[in-house]
Chains A and B, each alone.
Chain A
Amino acid sequence: QMQLQESGPGLVKPSETLSLTCTVSGGSISSSSYFWGWIRQPPGKGLKWIGSIYYSGSTYYNPSLQSRVTISVDTSKDQFSLKLSSVTAADTAVYYCARLQTAGEAFDIWGHGTMVTVSS
């Protein structure tokens, strides 16, 4: 059974870069059947898709975050990562990584999420 686990600092200072990694276990990230995505949920708000990546490195970003987001993949480690630059308090959220099925076109496996607070 594939599992995803987010890791990274829980506290980031304003104007700095938020960095998170998602480790995939129980399967390979290098499958043509999946994309890999980042989704976040600010306190009291809904889910927001941040971006997705294919194992080949092709990336797709939310237009509202595109100028600050970089998603990368390390197939040798079965990991993909999120970098969000110039963060503000508005970036405080629970960040989830998830598997996106190309067949069912849905996020079918999620990590447990990690809370990131932007504060000095």
Chain B
Amino acid sequence: QSALTQPASVSGSPGQSITISCTGTSSDVGNYNLVSWYQRHPGKAPKLMIHEANKRPSGVSNRFSGSQSGNTASLTISGLQAEDEADYYCCSYAGSSTWVFGGGTKLTVL
């Protein structure tokens, strides 16, 4: 069970859109439509932003969207805002009631 692969960092200017990728294998991301995304601000608990690849929980801004193709899932943030600066983690079901996270991506809003 290897960690999902995410870029270490991405950046964008306010108002722009950015996309964070999350690459797994046919044993996890590619085999299930069960990728979730989490936002974590320093010193705070992770917050669920997307579940089941493209579903937004109640209360999450519609500027956040998710997609999946094959072994890669993506999180897109549109209309970037300063408050979006945080670490983002993907997570996938890996079968047999096990889960695997990505290494995390640091988003910097320039």
Contact = CB atoms under 8 A, between A and B. Distances in A.
Interface of A: 35, 37, 39, 45-49, 52, 60-64, 96, 98, 101, 104-108, 110-113
B51 A106 contact: yes
A104 B103 contact: no
Residue of A37, A45, A47 contacting most chain B CB atoms (<10 Å):
A47
A48 B4 CA distance: 11
A27 B91 CA distance: 25
B51 A39 contact: no
Interface of B: 1, 3, 6, 34, 36, 38, 44-48, 51-52, 55, 57, 89, 91, 93, 96-104
A108 B48 CA distance: 6
Contact of B98 (A46, A62, A106, A108): A62
Nearest to A101: B51
Nearest to A37: B99
Contacts of A107: 36, 38, 46, 48, 91
A105 B93 contact: yes
Contacts of A47: 38, 46, 89, 91, 101-102, 104
25 contacts: A37-B99, A39-B101, A46-B6, A46-B101, A47-B46, A47-B89, A48-B3, A48-B101, A49-B98, A49-B99, A62-B1, A64-B1, A96-B45, A96-B46, A104-B52, A104-B57, A105-B93, A106-B34, A106-B48, A106-B51, A106-B52, A106-B91, A107-B48, A108-B51, A110-B46
B43 to A, nearest CB: 9
